[in-house]
Amino acid sequence: MTNYLWLIPLLPALGAIINLMIGRFLGKRTVSLLACGGILGSFVLSAVTFFQLIKLPADARVIHNVVYQWLNIGKLNAEVAFLVDPLSIIMLLVVTGVSFLIHVYSVGYMADDKRYARYFGFLNLFVFAMILLVAADNLLLMFIGWEGVGLCSYLLIGFWFEKKANATAGKKAFIVNRIGDFGFMLGIFLLFWSLDSVSFQGLQAALAAHPLSTGLATAICLLLFVGAAGKSAQIPLYVWLPDAMAGPTPVSALIHAATMVTAGVYMIARMNFLYVLSPTAMLVVAIVGVATAFYAGTIALVQNDIKKVLAYSTISQLGYMFLGVGVGAFAAGIFHLMTHAFFKALLFLGSGSVIHGTGGEQDMRKMGGVRKFMPITFWTFLIATVAIAGIPPFAGFFSKDEILWKTFSSGHRVLWAVGLAGAVLTAFYMSRLVFMTFFGENRAHHVDHHPPDQEPSGHDVCCDDDSTRDKSHHAHIHESPKTMTIPLMVLAVLSIVGGLVGIPHALKGANHIEEFMAPVFANSGIIHVEKHVSTGGHDAAVLPVGEHHGDTTLELLLMVLSVGLVLISIYGAYYCYIKKKDIPGRIAQKFSGLHKLLLNKYYIDEIYQQVLIKSLLALNNILAYKIDLGVIDKIVNGLGTSTIKVAKASGWMDKNVVDGAVNGTGQTVLAFGQVVRQPQSGRLKDYLTWVVAGIIMLVGLIWFFVLK
């Protein structure tokens, strides 16, 4: 099987090629079978590879498949080769498995779209690029997949490009990612310049033989992290992800759950052997991660678009993953990546089911009571909400608690406190979403009079009088077809049981996923917890990567504290949005400034527009009109005018002097030739005449000069 790893990315690539080239001539059923079948084949091959991998000894679980030599230029040696180990096989299973469910869901969701084949072609191409990114054995091949998912995100986010907002969102995602990718590329260049290798195994060997200085390692890690921040939507490069909701909802699930946005987390985990050489870079990763988690959570508290809430939730959850890898808990970060793929894909697909069932409605203020008409969507969505909130024994509890515990036990107490606060926010805004969407009375067409920046409250929105309800709106609310609900049910099961592979030792469990990935991070060295630097002032310590077991009693107490605060937060949302529905409105009015700030996302987009975009456009105008047109073009045009004048003078000289002399000489020679050729008539009598004339002249000359 090791010789056939290349089939895992090839199958979706073939589906993409066929559907993009001739898909419009095929029936929708054929297009669906090609697209879904390719991803299913990749998942099956990944599963077979997983079972082959676990049969190997724990310290030898590496499968390397070289397809062909790609680049061999001087010291640069890169192959098209695939590396499968415990880290990459988990990613492959998550990417192909969740992507297959999203493909199946898309069959129903996109059934009436006029560009059906193109959609599935782009979707297959996206998965191909993500598999390439995950399975690559070197940074250059990873970068190809990295850029591939960036391109496909642009194509899919702006899929409905007829609307300017959708096209703009696609361009925004593409441009912001290019900023991050530039840093990532510089990091690759600097790493190759330092170690003469781009393969992961080669880099590890080179570092063992020639360790980098701390400063150089920090520079490389931070440059790579710029790329990770762009791809995984971290501060300050997160702004593209909320706008990416313009794409079809299955695209949101694909990009924001298991694939593109997790690429940055995976890259840092893959490069763990480099990051542990720089405590500064690790601390930056952790701080940015936890800051993003809390920051995005505050914005999600007041958003009214169901997909926007989930978008900021994704940004927040990615922050937790970066917090995990930033404190050296690489396995915990990947564990949360896996569980997040299950419940966040379910949340996005569930929101798509709600949107589909309510005739395209996305404003939660115009929903309510949906659970009566969409029971499968409701129960699966509720399961995902409980999972992301961190309630045991659902999947999100184990992975998020593992990150928080590793953060606390490694000495980063301040980061732990901020992370815990973010978890409380997550429970509140996700419960708010559920209560506003699925509970109470339907509020369709009863919210238009509210200002867009003010949370509706009380009976103005939630009418108790049946006569005031929009019964026509109720009539068209319906459950989604089986192609959409079956993936929801599968993901719901995974959201329940997915965390059982990582039950912590404090709960007398076997953390199988951490033990499985331990060999990948075994050579990661040590992490130094710096004294008095965002760690709560604790003394410096040296802790093995991923080995922060600490005191079991303390871990259990922190676990109880976390779950207790989350339950209180859920009850708070219930009290505000079910029991006392006027409270959100009163709070919004009392703290109108803060509410407006959060509702407008801290005005970051506006700040970027004014400070960066307008400044760059102004600079562009200066360069274009003042310098390019006013200076450079004038110089170029002046040189051109001068050249024309010189050319005209040169032309006159050439025509009237040089050509005149040449032509005059030619005409003289021609005239002389005309004269000389006269005797050369070819007639015998002319020649005899000239001979007689010559004899007479000769006789005359002899007589005159000699005989006289």
Task: Please indicate, yes or no, whether residues 671 and 696 belong to a single structural domain of this protein.
Answer: no
Name which residue leads in pLDDT, 3 or 168: 168
Task: Please indicate, yes or no, whether residues 438 and 480 belong to a single structural domain of this protein.
Answer: yes
- Residue 52, in any domain of the structure: yes
Question: How far is C-alpha 63 from the chain's CA centre?
Answer: 27
Question: How far is C-alpha 702 from the chain's CA centre?
Answer: 112
CB 376 within 8 A of CB 485: yes
Q: Looking at the 3D structure of the chain, how many domains does it have? A: 4
- Residue 486, in any domain of the structure: yes
Task: Please indicate, yes or no, whether residues 295 and 259 belong to a single structural domain of this protein.
Answer: no
- Residue 208, in any domain of the structure: no
Reply yes or no on whether the pLDDT at 475 is more than 50.
Answer: no
Report the pLDDT value the prediction gives residue 534, as an integer from 0 to 100.
38
Cis, bond preceding 12 (omega within 30 deg of 0): no
- Residue 226, in any domain of the structure: no
The stretch 123-136 carries a mean pLDDT of 95
User: How far apart are the C-alpha atoms of 358 and 43, rounded to whole Å?
Assistant: 33
Query: pLDDT > 70: what percent of the chain?
Result: 90
Residue pLDDT, tens place only, 552-602: 889 999 999 999 999 999 999 999 999 988 898 899 999 999 999 999 999
CB 247 within 8 A of CB 154: no
Report the pLDDT value the prediction gives residue 524, as an integer from 0 to 100.
59
Task: Please indicate, yes or no, whether residues 614 and 573 belong to a single structural domain of this protein.
Answer: no
- Residue 201, in any domain of the structure: no
User: How far apart are the C-alpha atoms of 708 and 703, rounded to whole Å?
Assistant: 6
User: How far apart are the C-alpha atoms of 71 and 398, rounded to whole Å?
Assistant: 43
Name which residue leads in pLDDT, 634 or 289: 289
Task: Please indicate, yes or no, whether residues 255 and 285 belong to a single structural domain of this protein.
Answer: no
Reply yes or no on whether the pLDDT at 416 is more than 90.
Answer: yes
Range in 148-162, 558-572, 603-617 with the lowest mean pLDDT: 603-617
Name the pLDDT band for 451 (thresholds 50, 70, 90).
very low
Task: Please indicate, yes or no, whether residues 326 and 383 belong to a single structural domain of this protein.
Answer: yes
Structural domain boundaries enclosing 330: 278-464+474-599
Reply yes or no on whether the pLDDT at 374 is more than 70.
Answer: yes
Name the pLDDT band for 477 (thresholds 50, 70, 90).
confident
Name the pLDDT band for 540 (thresholds 50, 70, 90).
very low
Task: Please indicate, yes or no, whether residues 289 and 401 belong to a single structural domain of this protein.
Answer: yes
Name the pLDDT band for 527 (thresholds 50, 70, 90).
very low
Task: Please indicate, yes or no, whether residues 581 and 651 belong to a single structural domain of this protein.
Answer: no
Task: Please indicate, yes or no, whether residues 517 and 657 belong to a single structural domain of this protein.
Answer: no
Task: Please indicate, yes or no, whether residues 307 and 351 belong to a single structural domain of this protein.
Answer: yes
Sign of CA dihedral 519, 523, 529, 533: negative
The stretch 417-421 carries a mean pLDDT of 96
- Residue 244, in any domain of the structure: yes
- Residue 402, in any domain of the structure: yes
Reply yes or no on whether the pLDDT at 473 is more than 60.
Answer: no
Q: pTM of the predicted model, to two decimals? A: 0.82
Name which residue leads in pLDDT, 592 or 623: 592
Query: pLDDT > 90: what percent of the chain?
Result: 56
**What share of residues in the chain are helix, strand, coil (percent, to 5)?**
75, 5, 20
Report the pLDDT value the prediction gives residue 86, as an integer from 0 to 100.
94
Average pLDDT, the chain: 86
Amino acid at 499: G
Of 545, 576, 599, which residue is a domain's last? Answer: 599
Task: Please indicate, yes or no, whether residues 324 and 382 belong to a single structural domain of this protein.
Answer: yes
CA-wise closest residue to 242 among 609, 598, 593, 601: 601
- Residue 378, in any domain of the structure: yes
| Max CA pair span of the chain | 156
Name the pLDDT band for 665 (thresholds 50, 70, 90).
confident
Report the pLDDT value the prediction gives residue 523, as an integer from 0 to 100.
64
**CA of 154: how far to CAs of 104, 172, 243, in Å?**
22, 8, 12
Task: Please indicate, yes or no, whether residues 350 and 261 belong to a single structural domain of this protein.
Answer: no
